[in-house]
Structure formats: C-alpha cells, structure tokens
Structure 1
Amino acid sequence: MRAVQFASFGPPGVVHVAEVPAPHPGPGEVRVAVRASGLSTGETRIRSGALRDAVATRLPFRTGFDAAGVVDELGPGVTGTALGDEVFGWVAPASRGANADHAVLVAWAPKPPSWSWAEAGGAAGPAETSTRVLDHLGLVRGQTILVHGAAGGVGSVATQLAVARGATVIGTARAAAHALLSSLGAIPTAYGPGLRDRVRALAPGGVDAVLDCAGGTLPELIAVAGAPSRVVTIADLTAATHGVLMSRPDPLAAHALPLAVDLAASGRLRIPVAARFPLTEAAAAHELSETRHAPGRIVLMP
C-alpha cells in the first residue's frame, strides 16, 4: 500500500509516498480503508527537525495521527463495530501512519453523517487535543477563555468545544479569518502587539484561561491570564521557562471522540477544512501548513 513518510529531516520536499506493507489490527484495534487523514503542524515541525530533541523520532517516519475510513479488518476482541462501518479516530501515537491507504485505529467512533470524509479525517486529533486542554484548564460555563491561534486546525475545534461548555471565547487570528471565528461562536481579535489591551476591552473582567495554539507570545499571554498556571500551550517549546504547561497526549483523552459525535449530531461541531490534497501531493500540503495561514485543517485524501 501507499504511505506518506520522510527518511530524513528537512524541508517539505523530503516528504514522499512509499510502498510499504499493509498493517493489520491487533487486539482491540480496527483497520480502515482510509478516505481522509489529517496533517498536523506538529508533524511539520517533526519533519523539519525542530523537534528532534523533544520528540523521539525513528526514521523513516510515517506521518499521520488521525483518519477516517471504512472498517475492513477487525482485531481480536473488537465488539460493537462491523466490517463496512464508517468511522473516524486515531492511530497509535508512537507509530503514526494514518496518511496512507490503510491505517490501524486504536480509538474510533462512528463518522457523523453530517460530516464529509474530509471533515471526519481531520477531526479526531483536534478534538482530542482540545478536550485534553480544556479539561486541564477546568473550563466551565460562565468563564472566559482566550484561544490564541483560534482559526487553525486545533484552535477552531477548541473554540467550538469551549462554546459548547458555555464559555465565552475570544479568539486571535488574522483579519481574513475573523468571519470564520464569528461563525464558530468566538469574539475575534487581532494578533500582535497590544493584545492585552484588546482583550481587556473585550473582557473587562479578565479571562479565566488561555489556550495557546500558535506559540511565540507566552509572556503576553501570561499577562492576559494573570498567572502562568492559567495558560496551556500546545505550540511553544519555551513553556517550561515561563512556568507554563505544554500539554502532551499522555494520556490521550479518549472521551473526546463520543463527545465530538454528540456535538456534531446537534450541529455544534464542524471541522473547518482549509485544503484537501491527494497523498501524492503531501509535500505541497506541508508547504501550506508551514505558512501558518491555513484556516482550519489540512487533509490528505487517496
């Protein structure tokens, strides 16, 4: 089968499609014929070598954490799922490999009928990350959260999950993405200098939490939040020097999948898709991801 991988660190051009043996599910796992899979900004940083000291990476590295597809093999002990079911979920974080013709899912849920394959393929990763961080922050109804980088793949989902919890969301993004944020239920504002003053004008009572999806501005985000303990980042490797938690998927928030299904059924969760690329154009997808200007998720499709 075909799978996207890279055998050396470097620019997007090191990403290529290779012919590899098809995987098979182990106990409690399912295999899917992939219809769509997500591309994360984290993997572009792994590929570039920026995270080589932070993330153990064995080369060649097969990319892709989340996918959606049709179940075509069941592992021992799997119940409640049948061959032919349409599902979305994620692969084992250590092995990855969702950007391929077939992928073995270790966690999955039924694909919501309202989602396209592209939306479902890009849903599981952002849903897991957002749920994990919002749980850590203890975000509840009536609170206010700043989502920094709210128009990206994770930020756009985190915004909706926070709104579903009854929180007020202020989201930073480029001006071109402000309409998207408004449609997701957020109050949009700009990046850049003066953020603390802009947030204060929008939330005179202050914010209760900050989710940083963009990186690079932790001191200002701490000033907005009032304390490092009220900030969680998924993007800034300098977090520890500022006393901020950098959230990692250990353990994974498996309850994110049924939550996403329920919210999708009630029309409260959609997955903005910035672009779709065939597997053979994975390098171009990485190039777009590195611009950090893609509003929503980038997905790869067979």
Structure 2
Amino acid sequence: MNSADGFAAAGDGTPEEKRPRAASEGDGRDETARPPKKPRSFWKELPILIGIALVLALLIKTFLVQAFSIPSDSMQNTLQQGDRVLVDKLTPWFGSKPGRGEVVVFHDPDSWLAGEPTPNPNAVQKVLSWIGLMPSVNEKDLIKRVIGVGGDTVECKGTGPLMVNGKALNEPYVYPGNTPCTDDEVGGRFKVKVPQGYIWVMGDHRQNSSDSRYHQSDQHHGMVPVKDVVGRAIVKAWPINRWGTLPVPDTFDQPGLGDQSAAAASLSVAPQGIALVGVLPVAVWRRRRAASAEAR
C-alpha cells in the first residue's frame, strides 16, 4: 500500500491515523503535565475571610444596623443602663419617618448632653466601635421614646395622663412608681404642637429623664429634627438574659389618634452576624475552586 492510499508506513504496521500523537504534536500542551496547584490551607485563608467580614461589618454599621450602649436610667424599665441595643439605620434611607411609640436614637439636637461625662475608650474599643463590633462610645447620641410626630398636639396637666391629639395614653412602659407627667411647672404643665419634620420625645423613666419637656427654651423648643434621628432601636441584644424586641405599644394604635408615618420593616441582625453570612458564600466558593483545581 502506498502513501496515496492515506496511510504512512510505520515500523509496527499501524496506520498513521490510528496512532496516538505525542503531546507536542500540535495540541498546545507541554510534554510534561503540570502538577495540580495545591489549595491554600484554611489557616492561610482565615485572615482573608476575617478582612472581608470586617469590611462588611463596617458597611453594615454605616448603612444598615449599629449597636449602641444605654448610658443612663432615663429609659427604665424598658432599657437598663449598660444594655446594648441594635438600631435600624436602613429604613430611613428609603424615606421612613419615626413613628409614635418607637424607641429612637438621635444626635444631640441642641446641647442636651452638656455637662455629661465623655467616655474615654482605649485603642481596641475605638477600633471595634469604628467597625461596628462594639457600641459607639464617642458619638453624642440620645435614646428616647417618640410621643408625638409632625402635626400632633402633646399635652400634660399635672401628673397625667399624657395626651396626644386629645387622646389619653395608657402607658404601661412608664417606670413603676412614676406618673406619666411630673408635678412641676415644666414637666407637668405643657401643651405643644409638633411642627412637620420634628418629633417630641420622652423617656420612660419620667421622673429621671431630661427630654423634650426640659428643652423647650432651646432653638428647637424641645423638638428633635427628624434629620437628626439615627434610627429606630429594634432589639435589646445584650446582655443575653435581657434579649428582646422593642415593639410599638398598643396605646399608640388606638382609634382617633391620627395618622402617622409608619416605619418600614426593620432588620434585627447584628452587623457581625450579617457579615458572617456574607462571608460564607465567599468561603464556599474559594474552597470549591481550590478542590476543582486539585481535581484537574
């Protein structure tokens, strides 16, 4: 048989089309196969995953949820000094406004904290606070309950009850032994109309709370600008034995009280928890990619 028949003579008589070609005969691969790349160990990947978690925690603290520490007794018994709460910072980005009965954190509107001692955190506390893994210690913020929103009339005569738009509030959250209003000329003798864009706030420990009642002579007349509200406190996260949500009391749902801007559904997960959830898919993807490379 000659070459015109499509076969080349070979020493073993095997047709050229049937012989396996060497790796160097045009398939573009090296003659010597490279050994599979050894995946990095978990301990080498751990710093990368921690870094991702910290970045996610920082983003979550900035835009979603932040932890705050309760510095005083003004919200007893709802909140105790030293409690840690998680504050929803997401829904205000979508136009949600504070509603009656909500517990909110807000920036000091007009030197309400003048004379209060300033915390002096160490370097580690500063770092952990910055990334949201510990409550903020340097921000000048307060926490109170929203009693009135824009358009509401809030009134007290003597020791109570507290009136909103002519409706008496049944306030089971008020500190035991306290009256809804104090029996002094400031805390028990007021009638205010809340302007649009503002809220009227009071502490649950009425006889131990420097709230809107006692700042009526400042530039906002005791009102808190909505733009200064950081967010709604939604969960008592620490200590564990005090864990619980912070719902709006039923008294603010009574008929005739008037419409208000309801808050949107809130997140209730700690920043570090959400960060870990975000890291898990990354970790799984990296491990699968490494296993696939090893199998080649």
* TM-score normalized by the length of structure 2: 0.26
Q: Please state which structure has a larger fraction of its residues in helix.
A: 1
Taking structure 1 as the reference length, the TM-score comes to 0.25
The structure in which a higher percent of residues are strand is 1
* Larger of the two Rg values belongs to structure: 2
Higher relative contact order (CA 8 A, sep 6+): 2
